[in-house]
C-alpha cells in the first residue's frame, strides 16, 4: 500500500471550513507538508509542521498532527473559490536527504 | 529572487526516442530533485542532486539519468522512451541553508507525451 494516504475528493461551499485529512506510515518523519497544485501548474508549498509540534496556524490554514495515530490534517478557514485545487500531503523521513513521499492528493472543489 | 524554471513546458516524443528536460534552481539553492507525476497521482521521486553529485534515487530504471551543473541547474535525460513515461516532470530546488534546507520549491513542470 501507499506510504501516505488521502481521500481523493472534498466538496465544500464558499465561506465554509475545509478539512483535508492524511495518514502516513513512517513514525520517524521529521517534517510533514501540505502542498497545493492548481491545474497545469507545479506544486506550491503551503505549510509544514515539525514532528515535535501538535498544531501550527498560518493565517487561514491550521495544521494538526496526531503522531500516535500518524494522522495529519489541514483546515482551511473561510474557503474561497480560489482554494479549489489538489492538496498533497507529504512526509519527510528522518535523514539528511530531505526527500518527501507524497500522497495521491485530495481534489478540493469549492462551490459558490 | 528568481523562482524555479523548467523547459520546455510541453513536449511530444515517439516511443524509443530520447529526451532532455531542463531546470534552473531558485537563487541560493544547491539541491535539485526531480519527480514524475502521472495523471491522477502524486509526484514520484526520481533522483536528487546536491552540489553536482547524485544524492538519492527512487525506483526508476537506469534509462532515467541526470546531471547538475556548477550553477546548480539540472537536466533530466530519459532514453528509450516508453508510453508509460508520459507524465508531468517536476523539478524542485532546495537547500538555502540552515533549517530552511528541507523546503522544496517546485517549478511549473514539463508535460511529456510519448506516442
pLDDT tens per residue, range B13-35: 999 999 999 999 988 889 999 99
pLDDT for B95: 80
pLDDT for A1: 39
pLDDT for B100: 60
State pLDDT tens for residues A54-72: 999 999 999 999 999 999 9
From chain A, the residues in CB contact with B90 under 8 A are 42-43
Structure-block grid coordinates of residue B83: 508510453
Q: CB atoms < 10 A from the CB of B41, how many?
A: 15
B18–chain A nearest CA distance, Å: 23
CB contact under 8 A, A104 and B40: yes
When CB atoms are compared, the residue of B42, B101, B108 closest to A41 is B108
Structure-block grid coordinates of residue A21: 485529512
- Which residues of chain B, if any, have pLDDT below 50? none
pLDDT for A99: 80
- The mean pLDDT of chain A is 91
pLDDT for A95: 58
Largest CA distance in chain B: 44
At residue B48, the 3 state secondary structure works out as strand
Strands (E), chain B: 5-7, 10-13, 19-24, 31-37, 44-50, 53-57, 64-68, 74-78, 87-94, 105-106, 110-114
Question: Is A93 an 8 Å CB contact of chain B?
Answer: no
- Which residues of chain A, if any, have pLDDT below 70? 1-2, 94-97
CB contact under 8 A, A102 and B43: yes
CB contact under 8 A, A42 and B45: no
Amino acid at each position: 500500500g501507499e506510504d501516505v494516504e488521502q481521500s481523493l475528493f472534498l466538496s465544500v461551499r464558499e465561506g465554509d471550513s475545509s478539512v483535508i485529512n492524511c495518514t502516513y506510515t513512517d513514525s520517524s518523519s521529521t517534517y510533514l507538508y501540505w502542498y497545493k497544485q492548481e491545474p497545469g501548474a507545479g506544486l506550491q508549498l503551503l505549510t509544514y509542521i515539525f514532528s515535535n509540534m501538535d498544531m501550527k496556524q498560518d493565517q487561514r490554514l491550521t495544521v494538526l498532527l496526531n503522531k500516535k495515530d500518524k494522522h495529519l490534517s489541514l483546515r482551511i478557514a473561510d474557503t474561497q473559490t480560489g482554494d479549489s485545487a489538489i492538496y498533497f500531503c507529504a512526509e519527510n523521513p528522518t535523514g539528511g536527504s530531505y526527500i518527501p513521499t507524497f500522497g495521491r492528493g485530495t481534489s478540493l472543489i469549492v462551490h459558490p | 529572487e528568481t523562482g524555479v524554471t523548467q523547459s520546455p513546458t510541453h513536449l511530444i516524443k515517439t516511443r524509443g526516442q530520447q529526451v532532455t528536460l531542463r531546470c534552473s534552481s531558485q537563487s541560493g539553492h544547491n539541491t535539485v530533485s526531480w519527480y514524475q507525476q502521472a495523471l491522477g497521482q502524486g509526484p514520484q521521486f526520481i533522483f536528487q542532486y546536491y552540489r553536482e553529485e547524485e544524492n538519492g534515487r527512487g525506483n526508476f530504471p537506469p534509462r532515467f539519468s541526470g546531471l547538475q551543473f556548477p550553477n546548480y541547474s539540472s537536466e533530466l535525460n530519459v532514453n528509450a522512451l516508453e508510453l508509460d513515461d508520459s507524465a508531468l516532470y517536476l523539478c524542485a530546488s532546495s537547500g538555502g541553508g540552515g533549517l530552511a534546507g528541507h523546503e522544496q520549491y517546485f517549478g511549473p513542470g514539463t508535460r511529456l507525451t510519448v506516442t
